[in-house]
Structure 1
Amino acid sequence: MRSSEGKYWIEGLRRRWIFSDAVKAFCFAATAAIISATVAMHFLGTGWKAFVLIFLLLFAGISAWMKYWNISSAQVSRFVDDQFPEVEQSSWLVLEPEENLSLLQRLQADRVNKVLSAKKISDAPWKQLVGPVLVLVAAIALSYGLSFISQSNRSITDSITEKNAGMPVVKENIPAEVSGFVITITPPAYTGKQARSQQQFSLTAETGSMVKWAIKTSLPVQSMVLLLNDNESVPLKSADNKSTWSASRLIAKSGFYQIVLNGKKSDYYQMEVTPDLPVAIRITNPAQHSTIDIGQPQQIDLKVLLNDDYGITDASISATMASGKGEAVSFKEKKIALQTNIHNQRSIQISQRILLRELGMKPGDELYFYINAKDNHGQLSRSDTYFVSIQDTTELMSLAGIDNGVNLVPEYFRSQRQLIMDTEKLLKEKAGMSEEEFKNKSNNLGIDQKMLRLRYGKFLGEEEETNIGGGHADEKEGKHAEGKDEHGHEAEQHAEAVEFGNTQAIMDQYAHKHDTSEDATFFEPELKAQLKATLNEMWTAELRLRTYEPQQALPFEYKALRLLKDLQQKSRAYVAKTTFKTSPIKPEKRLTGELKEVNGVQTSRSGGAGNKSVTVLKATLAMLENKKEGLPAMPGDLGVLLQAQQQLSAAASNTPAKYLDALKSTKKVLALWKNGNPQARDIAAMQKGLSLLIGAELAVPVQLSARSSELTKSYFKQLNRMQ
């Protein structure tokens, strides 16, 4: 009996190869998944769930490609023959049963057993893992580095943004008496932002921020005041030495301010307030008006995106279900919770499925819903109202109201209802009939649907089947469908081949024709479009019936019927019931002729003050243009400039970013108007601000000349003669 050490030795090596290949597949899959997930997180903001999904898919794919579990002992023996010359290419002998070997082979097998038992199992499977493990470690390091850099960049960007908020475009003009100052901005607590300090007078703050000014002067001053928007004074308090001043103010709106030291005003400084907007709600699915047709699942796949400046604290769905008709309509309100955790996030994506049956809705009911959301400042916002209705088959199949009013739709249009009933009957009887009989009946229903569709086509000016429901024609179907399948696919391909290269067909797409069959109808464009949509639904139903799929044809048949009933309602002439309530009549005042309490029609002319202000601004622009040309100043120019400055000051208090530069330049122009020459850049900046205030003038109507009036009278006189 020969020993089996060699066989066990080869089997152990095989298990090592299988395990090492599995580890190799794991390393490659994990490397690719880590890199993909890191990129997705950095650019798309996805979570680590994407890593798990990508890893599982890649590991399964790589394993299926490598098939390491199929490594056989014969393959391992060939590796042993190549790596160990001592076995003399005979390692396979230890794997064969002893009864299958000759005497010399048994002797050689014993020799191989002795050689292998004296050797350690090869480490070659472990050596091949060095590369994949190093690649995996590098991918982990790269992912960590990118995450760290991204987080650092985000922190640096946020800190720079907060630090440099409100940085002026140009260098500020600081009063000479001021030796140093610090402005501290403390945002409201709900924003989650820390207090920040800056050494600039122009500032940008969140709504409701507390702003503190701390100003030091080189010499003691008697008084220091902050003049806000040229109409509000905020005194600064000083210590005993009169050189350190401070004041605090809650900022609620944008504007500008000046520092007044001992009655001397400084330059203008901007105060920009960032408003806290309510939650922005965006519903991407469903559409604002949607109908659930027959055969569709009675559910809503809701997709909502919520965004807020500082955080969202609550969101919900307010739904109202309406059921019944006429005076028996009942409404039921319900608040539906969103299936997501809201913990003061700034952005939330919501995907939620709402089952209408669980809300107690049935065919014919309607659902009205909107989204409510609240931010961490308590501001409420709501979306538009969305409407979802479930189509009622009973209403569609009913004949009530068909003979009321004036019906412009032909009587045979209502045969679509009979087609639906025949299709449902065919589906019920399918189990008790043969396949051939079922196909014949389904095909016959398709023929009936085709005939009904052709009748509709006549009301669109189409006397034959051309361009109805996909461009099939009777003549082409009769000529080319013989010997082919019964759906006319070959004829359709032939029609496309004929149209290719047809000059007349290309010209028909762009030519303006007055005798087209489609326009030779009595339908309005809206009714015509709905009738075309009905033809498309009928064509799809016919296709399903012709291909022996009546179950799939039912939704299209129901939709065609719904469009038909809607078309009937639109074409019906009726007078709606209306009620009118008059105000009560006082008998004592009737027929007295007293008109003192009757006010005549008054036309408000608010444009007078506006025209006056525009006149002042235009005069100021003309004066500035004369000043640029070197003309001397007139005595009344200063008063006009002061009026223009008042208007610029009022505009800058509302939108400082737009008009504050012009107001600063106006101050400089006024200082040098009489006894100096203002700089050209100040005049240009002032002109720009005045032009923005004037805006685009509307065209003013002018009276026609006498000659034009006579021509107009003659024209209307000729028109009267022609009638």
Structure 2
Amino acid sequence: MMLKTEGKNWIRNLRIKWISFYLIGMASIALAIALVLSFIGIYLLHFSPWLFAVVFPVVLGILLYIKPIWKINENDISRFINNRYPELEESAHLLLQNQADLSLLQQLQRNKIENIITTLAQPKEPVKKLYSGLVILLAGLLLSFGVTQIPLRKSVFLKDREKADQTQPIKENIPAEISAFNVTIIPPAYTQKAGRKQKQFTITAETGARINWNIETNIGIRKLKLIFNNSETVPLKALNAAHTQWTFGKTVQKSGFYQLDLDGRKSDLYQMEVIPDLPVNIKITQPKQHTTIDIGQPQKINLKVLLTDDYGINDAFISATMASGKGEGVSFTEKKLSFDKNFGNRKSISLEKLIDLKSLGMKPGDELYFFIKAMDNHGQSSRSDVYFVSIADTAELMSLAGMTNGVNLVPEYFRSERQIIIDTEKLLKEQSSIPVQTFKNRSNDIGIDQKLLRLRYGQFLSEENETEIGGDHDDHDEHAAHKVEDEKFGDVTNIMDKYAHKHDIAEDATFFEPEIKAQLKAVLTEMWNAELRLRTYKPQEALPYEYKALRLLKDLQQKSRAYVAKTTVKTAALKPEKRLSGELDKITQPVQKMSFEQKEKRIATLKIALARLENRKTGKKFTAQDQFILNQTEKYMIGAAADHPATYLNALSSLRKLSTNKNPIISDIDQVQQAIQKMISTEIPKPLMQHAAPASALYQNYFKNLNKTDR
């Protein structure tokens, strides 16, 4: 009897092996894909490490959905081995059937293949699937390891590049008298950078850095000077009697250029770029700049701030001002709130603080104004914009005070929304003492009142009926038909329709400003939310929407308070000994300096210089007048190079070559012209007279029809 079931067991074991190996292979493939995606998300996109726990089951589920391997049954296996092994004579399925149900011929065939199947080798497809899955997993592990190295390699590359930029010498023209030199740059303490030496005169240093020049000449020099920005000349100190070793130190605060003067022989111009220390950048991601806390909302705000600085953050705090009262009785209270976090001179830090408005002493109707102030390790301070948080005052909303002041948008409508709130609160108080059906009927009735009020407010946006609320007219075909007809001259209505087209957008037929239109739309939205909950017998949930609609309506009328950061002006202390002395010699008439003519002269000179340089390209020589223009241009370019040496320093060197060389190089002329064009492009464009009137199209149409009538 064991022989009769051995073939069936062989097929069953193959199915189990097939499914198991395939599942392991799919899990390996899913693991490889999940590892690569997770490592990319974690190391490159800075996602949470828990990303893998989400990605792996999702990928595995997708693979199993595409290939549901567990659905393979023994009949599928029998068909597979029939195709694979011809010696089974397409009869493997007989091994799975009950022998009593087989015919005599089928029983003989079954006994025949029962002896054959046990001698067959297991197929290699399941093992191949297992091996392929493991290979993909190994590739995924290697690729994931490579992803982890990208930030490290990038950091090393940036450091090597920065180091190369600092140490790789720039090609410079060094005077022949100088045999050796070095420049030592000592950054200020706030940068937390070490000092460095370089073998080049072109300098890139931090603001406030100490620069020391050590120069050695091959011959004795009587005087060695440094000329900064063509205006400041400082002598170097000789360290020996032979006057071959020189030194000088200077603290730099701004960019510019300088050159060496060796006994009257001047060197090329060398760039001196100063990297400024920027203040702390403050980015508030939460909350919004204007936040109103309505009824039912927690009176707390979650503040999230991101601070970044180029060298380090020293401190940051919240400056908060609370406003209470209204009218002339407004009082302001200032408080300083700390983040309770150690900054540790970090360059980037995320801060978060939950501000409890109740703990600050705020009540409904009060407002909070706050901003973030941060200091870097250099003592620079920066502050964010002012953010506003207000708590809605339900008592003030329900009062009728101030309804007749300011912009009056149909005061009885305000009373209607107020009455809806009163009816809703009364219904909630009586809910426990009235039948359920009565409660539902009254809630539905209040919802109908809310709907009617919403429709009445929709008229302000030219929404004449319920179907038009939030929608547009669909009558463009009608307008298209009118365009086909001939316009009758003198028909004022047709002319106004053509240029106004007041039915394309219903809101454009109103006289309200866009901001008021937007707030009216918000009112309709809140009324719709309240109506929805009232009609579904949820008046408790409708109440916050009703209060918010009333608050928005009151905001449309007027603002009860305007915040001023400082109510007093700080002035210098008076000197008692100077008061009532009668000395007026220090008081002079105000003088207004006009630099317009000087600026016009500068631009005119630069434009003339462009033309003279263009003439020089054709072979013409500079005249005495041309030389004077170039000298004036050089003065202007010196000032530009002092402010932006990286942009204008090479052009200044080329301009000096053009002034001395008889055979100029075209590339020098091109470089100078490009720099002059950049200097001219900073000119502010002048206002021009408008040639056509705004309504010229209407005038032209009028005269066109007038001519037709005359004919």
TM over 0.5: yes
CA-CA distance at 1:290 after TM superposition: 1.8
Does residue 202 in structure 1 map to residue 202 in structure 2? yes
| DSSP 3-state at the match of 1:389 | strand
Equivalent pair of 1:229/1:649 in contact (CA under 8 Å)? yes
Shift in CA distance, 465/89, structure 1 to aligned 2, threshold 3 Å: closer
Q: Which residue matches 1:443?
A: 444
Q: Which residue matches 2:706?
A: none
Q: How does 1:423-502 map to 2 (within 5 A)?
A: 423-429=424-430, 437-457=438-458, 460=460, 462=462, 464-465=464-465, 469-471=469-471
Q: Which residue matches 1:130?
A: 131
CA-CA distance at 1:215 after TM superposition: 4.2
Q: Which stretch has the larger CA shift, 258-267 or 243-252?
A: 243-252
| DSSP 3-state at the match of 2:449 | helix
Q: Which residue matches 1:512?
A: 500
Please give the alpha-carbon distance, in whole angstroms, between the structure 2 residues aligned to 1:78 and 1:681.
82
Equivalent pair of 1:80/1:91 in contact (CA under 8 Å)? no
Equivalent pair of 1:527/1:567 in contact (CA under 8 Å)? yes
Q: Which residue matches 1:490?
A: none
Q: How does 1:506-545 map to 2 (within 5 A)?
A: 511-512=499-500, 530-545=519-534
CA-CA distance at 1:188 after TM superposition: 4.1
Does residue 557 in structure 1 map to residue 546 in structure 2? yes
The C-alpha deviation readout for 1:12-63, integer Å capped at 9, x for no partner, is 9999888767654543332122211233346534353433432354456667
Q: Which residue matches 2:696?
A: none
Equivalent pair of 2:609/2:633 in contact (CA under 8 Å)? no
| DSSP 3-state at the match of 2:310 | strand
Q: Which residue matches 1:714?
A: none
Equivalent pair of 2:238/2:244 in contact (CA under 8 Å)? no
Equivalent pair of 2:223/2:235 in contact (CA under 8 Å)? no
Q: Which residue matches 2:153?
A: 152
Please give the alpha-carbon distance, in whole angstroms, between the structure 2 residues aligned to 1:200 and 1:562.
69
Q: Which residue matches 2:267?
A: 266
Q: Which residue matches 1:575?
A: none
CA-CA distance at 1:445 after TM superposition: 1.8
CA-CA distance at 1:328 after TM superposition: 7.2
Shift in CA distance, 684/131, structure 1 to aligned 2, threshold 3 Å: closer
Shift in CA distance, 328/215, structure 1 to aligned 2, threshold 3 Å: closer
CA-CA distance at 1:278 after TM superposition: 1.5
Please give the alpha-carbon distance, in whole angstroms, between the structure 1 residues aligned to 2:78 and 2:190.
72
Q: How does 1:231-270 map to 2 (within 5 A)?
A: 231-233=232-234, 235=236, 237-238=238-239, 243=244, 245-270=246-271
Does residue 615 in structure 1 map to residue 601 in structure 2? yes
Q: Which amino acid in 1 is paired with 2:420?
A: L
Does residue 604 in structure 1 map to residue 587 in structure 2? no
Please give the alpha-carbon distance, in whole angstroms, between the structure 1 residues aligned to 2:445 and 2:501.
38
Shift in CA distance, 184/421, structure 1 to aligned 2, threshold 3 Å: same
Equivalent pair of 1:203/1:270 in contact (CA under 8 Å)? yes
2:683 to 677, 693, 696: 696
Q: Which residue matches 1:305?
A: 306
Please give the alpha-carbon distance, in whole angstroms, between the structure 2 residues aligned to 1:697 and 1:168.
40
Q: Which residue matches 2:226?
A: 226
Q: How does 1:567-716 map to 2 (within 5 A)?
A: 567-569=556-558, 602=589, 604-607=591-594, 611-612=597-598, 615=601, 618-619=604-605, 622=608, 625=611, 628=616, 629-630=620-621, 632-633=623-624, 644-672=633-661, 676=662, 679=665, 681-682=667-668, 685-686=671-672, 689=675, 695-696=682-683
Please give the alpha-carbon distance, in whole angstroms, between the structure 2 residues aligned to 1:141 and 1:602.
80
Equivalent pair of 2:224/2:263 in contact (CA under 8 Å)? yes
CA-CA distance at 1:269 after TM superposition: 0.7
Q: Which residue matches 1:331?
A: 333
Equivalent pair of 2:323/2:330 in contact (CA under 8 Å)? no
Please give the alpha-carbon distance, in whole angstroms, between the structure 2 residues aligned to 1:360 and 1:76.
77
The C-alpha deviation readout for 1:89-135, integer Å capped at 9, x for no partner, is 99989xx9xxxxxxxxxxxxxxxxxxxxxxxx999988754322221
Shift in CA distance, 44/499, structure 1 to aligned 2, threshold 3 Å: farther
Please give the alpha-carbon distance, in whole angstroms, between the structure 1 residues aligned to 2:272 and 2:56.
53
Q: Which residue matches 1:178?
A: 178
CA-CA distance at 1:685 after TM superposition: 4.7
Equivalent pair of 1:81/1:90 in contact (CA under 8 Å)? no
CA-CA distance at 1:275 after TM superposition: 0.8
Please give the alpha-carbon distance, in whole angstroms, between the structure 2 residues aligned to 1:370 and 1:616.
44
Q: Which stretch has the larger CA shift, 173-182 or 500-509?
A: 500-509
Please give the alpha-carbon distance, in whole angstroms, between the structure 1 residues aligned to 2:216 and 2:339.
56
Q: Which amino acid in 1 is paired with 2:623?
A: P
Equivalent pair of 1:187/1:193 in contact (CA under 8 Å)? yes
Please give the alpha-carbon distance, in whole angstroms, between the structure 2 residues aligned to 1:617 and 1:680.
23
Shift in CA distance, 511/284, structure 1 to aligned 2, threshold 3 Å: farther
CA-CA distance at 1:235 after TM superposition: 1.2
**Structure 2: runs of 5 or more not aligned:** 99-121, 484-495, 562-566, 569-581, 689-711
Equivalent pair of 2:303/2:354 in contact (CA under 8 Å)? yes
Please give the alpha-carbon distance, in whole angstroms, between the structure 2 residues aligned to 1:620 and 1:401.
64
Equivalent pair of 1:620/1:644 in contact (CA under 8 Å)? yes
Equivalent pair of 1:317/1:338 in contact (CA under 8 Å)? no
Q: Which residue matches 1:711?
A: none
Q: Which residue matches 2:414?
A: 413
Equivalent pair of 1:228/1:234 in contact (CA under 8 Å)? no
State the number of aligned residues: 648
CA-CA distance at 1:444 after TM superposition: 1.9
| DSSP 3-state at the match of 1:208 | coil
Q: Which residue matches 2:486?
A: none
Q: Which stretch has the larger CA shift, 54-63 or 262-271?
A: 54-63
Please give the alpha-carbon distance, in whole angstroms, between the structure 2 residues aligned to 1:616 and 1:401.
60
CA-CA distance at 1:266 after TM superposition: 0.3
Q: Give me the TM-score of the superposition, normalised by structure 1.
A: 0.69
The C-alpha deviation readout for 1:175-227, integer Å capped at 9, x for no partner, is 23334544444444554555555443223222233444454545454443332
The C-alpha deviation readout for 1:501-527, integer Å capped at 9, x for no partner, is 554599999841589997887877765
CA-CA distance at 1:633 after TM superposition: 1.7
Equivalent pair of 2:184/2:198 in contact (CA under 8 Å)? yes
| DSSP 3-state at the match of 1:607 | coil
| DSSP 3-state at the match of 2:500 | coil
Please give the alpha-carbon distance, in whole angstroms, between the structure 2 residues aligned to 1:376 and 1:663.
37
CA-CA distance at 1:83 after TM superposition: 12
Please give the alpha-carbon distance, in whole angstroms, between the structure 1 residues aligned to 2:644 and 2:144.
46
Equivalent pair of 1:166/1:202 in contact (CA under 8 Å)? no
Equivalent pair of 1:202/1:271 in contact (CA under 8 Å)? yes
Please give the alpha-carbon distance, in whole angstroms, between the structure 2 residues aligned to 1:183 and 1:599.
48
| DSSP 3-state at the match of 2:257 | strand
Please give the alpha-carbon distance, in whole angstroms, between the structure 1 residues aligned to 2:587 and 2:211.
53
Q: Which amino acid in 2 is paired with 1:289?
A: H
Equivalent pair of 1:259/1:265 in contact (CA under 8 Å)? yes
Q: Which stretch has the larger CA shift, 156-165 or 179-188?
A: 179-188
Q: How does 1:42-441 map to 2 (within 5 A)?
A: 43-46=44-47, 48-59=49-60, 128-164=129-165, 172-188=172-188, 190-191=190-191, 193=193, 195-230=195-230, 231-233=232-234, 235=236, 237-238=238-239, 243=244, 245-323=246-324, 325=326, 327=329, 329=331, 331=333, 333-337=335-339, 344-349=345-350, 354=355, 356=357, 361-402=362-403, 409-429=410-430, 437-441=438-442
Please give the alpha-carbon distance, in whole angstroms, between the structure 2 residues aligned to 1:570 and 1:505.
48
Please give the alpha-carbon distance, in whole angstroms, between the structure 2 residues aligned to 1:700 and 1:71.
81
Shift in CA distance, 124/28, structure 1 to aligned 2, threshold 3 Å: same
Shift in CA distance, 14/89, structure 1 to aligned 2, threshold 3 Å: closer
